[in-house]
Amino acid sequence: MRFSMVMCKPTAQPLLDAAGLVRRSEMDFLIPWRQKEKVVLILGATGTGKSRLSIDIASRFPVEIVNSDKIQAHKGLDVVTNKITEVEQCGIPHHLLGTIPPDADFTASDFCDSALLAIESIRARGNTPVIVGGSNSYIEALITDSDYRFQSKYECCFLWVDTAMPVLHSFVSKRVDKMVERGMVEEARNFFDPDAEYSRGIWRAIGVPELDFFFRTEKFLDLQARARLLEEAIEEIKNNTCKLAYRQLEKIHRLRNLKGWNLHRMDARPS
């Protein structure tokens, strides 16, 4: 994937559109031309390499990264949720990553409030915010909710990391296998709670409910049965991750085709 800030060059925005219908605050009317500050937003299905692209951008430009993944916002289960590691972050500041208590709800409204504060602090340091994550409903709320007036304050550069579904399925399968190698099962076992509520917080993460039956029964099984049950759970994790990727792609297509978002598509396959 190749990225250039030419994609996101600043533009001056007129006070009014051709019909004179763009609403501005009273102070805005005192300024005939206002150049909006830039915000980069990276969209894409899970497994396409959004975090990798964000770090690639950060290695070339003065940016800070704002996480928009609703599950990765929670503390804990770093392998299960596939959070970018401290080493992979390369010293680039990351906001809203692993900061929310595991059992807490983190709504779209909560995200918008927290993201706006992070963006303002990043801009105050002279850096460009890069918002990256797979929770497209959170991105949509931030961009389109009239209460936040986001589009009147910032010019959005949308980067869409994409690839064909068969390729994405292969990406997902290999990624889950690597997560298992990194200790995903052990991490989930240490987190396991037979009384957990899987509709709250980080408990909704793919990889947690799928391993529930295995953890409940493994001590009663012989080695062969245990291995077979674990293999089935891992396959379910892969299938559910692919289903998530498909839903995310549907959402992105809707944002592009119905909302009219100008998305710069970038091929996720290595060049």
Q: What is the pLDDT of residues 159-174, one digit of tens each?
A: 999 999 999 999 999 9
Strands 154-162 vs 63-67: parallel, antiparallel or unpaired = unpaired
Q: Which of 6-15, 189-198, 237-246, 251-260 has the lowest mean pLDDT?
A: 6-15
Judge: domain 36-164+250-267, CATH 3.40.50.300. Answer: yes
Residue 21, pLDDT > 60, answer: no
Q: Which of 29-38, 131-140, 204-213 has the lowest mean pLDDT?
A: 29-38
Residue 23 carries which side chain, given as an amino acid letter? R
- Residue 30: band (very low, low, confident or very high) from pLDDT cuts 50, 70, 90: very low
Residue 26 pLDDT: 42
How would DSSP label each residue in 151-188?
Answer: HHHEEEEEEEEE--HHHHHHHHHHHHHHHHHTTHHHHH
Domain-by-domain residue ranges, the chain?
36-164+250-267, 167-244
Residue 268 pLDDT: 79
DSSP code for 74: B
Inter-axis angle of helices 136-144 and 108-124, nearest 10 = 70
Residue 171 pLDDT: 94
Where are the extended beta strands (E) located within 133-223?
154-162
- Residue 269: band (very low, low, confident or very high) from pLDDT cuts 50, 70, 90: confident
User: What is the residue-averaged pLDDT of the chain?
Assistant: 89
pTM (two decimals): 0.85
- Residue 226: band (very low, low, confident or very high) from pLDDT cuts 50, 70, 90: very high
Residue 34 pLDDT: 59
What percent of the chain lies above the pLDDT cut of 90? 80
Residues facing residue 162 across a β-bridge: 267
CA distance 113 to 149: 12
Q: What is the mean pLDDT of residues 116-144?
A: 96
Q: Tell me if 253 sits within 8 A of 148, measured CB to CB.
A: no
Judge: domain 167-244, CATH 1.10.287.890. Answer: yes
Q: Which residue has the higher pLDDT, 14 or 87?
A: 87
- Burial class of residue 202 (count of CB atoms within 10 Å of its CB; 0-12, 13-18, 19+): buried
- Residue 197: band (very low, low, confident or very high) from pLDDT cuts 50, 70, 90: confident
